[in-house]
Structure 1
Amino acid sequence: MPAACGIACEICGFIEECGGCVPGTDPQAPERAQALRRMMGAPCPVFECAIKKKVDYCLRCSEFPCERHYRWEIPYSKRLLDIFKDWKEGKYTKA
């Protein structure tokens, strides 16, 4: 199952310790966020935002891509974020 940010937890090296992330709307999300805080020593800003905004995945958030993604580049590069932004603004059309 992908995390709120879009990363497939199965490929993350921390899945054994934290049990993996979940969508931001999952009932277990706050508990998983706490586990991540304990394990990493800091919260995951992307996951905590998804929980706060009650969105399952960042891609479904009306504010995506936001400054949080640009600042952390998690899990998307700046270039890909720019492509998402341009697409949402209608700069790409169907061929």
Structure 2
Amino acid sequence: MPTGPCGLSCDACGLYHRGRCSSCGPGNSIEARAKITFQEELGFRCPVLTCAITREIDYCSRDCPAFPCSKFEQGPYPLSHNFIRMYRRRSGAGH
């Protein structure tokens, strides 16, 4: 199941299924580097994908000790503020 570093499943995305978007893949993947290159050509870089590639992590919530960070809190996507609050509460992360 293709999943980006942010944790979103591409299998649940209509753009992916219609061939209008490719998977980001885990942060350490060839897919991630290809996706960021494509985004740069469009004049955009996803801050979450960029960070995962830079920090050499596959999935933010699983692999990054700083998760959840400002890239998720300030949006505009990929996770809701309610999810971030719930994650912090359940993980004991008070930051």
What is the TM-score normalised by the length of structure 2? 0.78
The structure with the larger Rg is 1
1:35 aligned counterpart, secondary structure: helix
Query: By how many angstroms is 1:18 displaced?
Result: 4.3
Q: 2:70 aligns with which of 67, 75, 82?
A: 67
The share of aligned pairs that are identical, in percent, is 30
Q: Structure 2 vs 1, CA of residues 73 and 86 (structure 1 numbering), >3 Å: closer, same or farther?
A: farther
RMSD: 2.1
* Structure 1: gaps (5+ residues): none
* Residue 12 of structure 2: aligned partner: 11
Given the two structures, how large is their TM-score scaled by the length of structure 1? 0.78
Question: Which segments of structure 1 move beyond 2 Å, counting only runs of 4 or more?
Answer: 10-19, 36-39
| Count of aligned pairs between the two proteins | 90
5+ long unaligned stretches in structure 2:
none
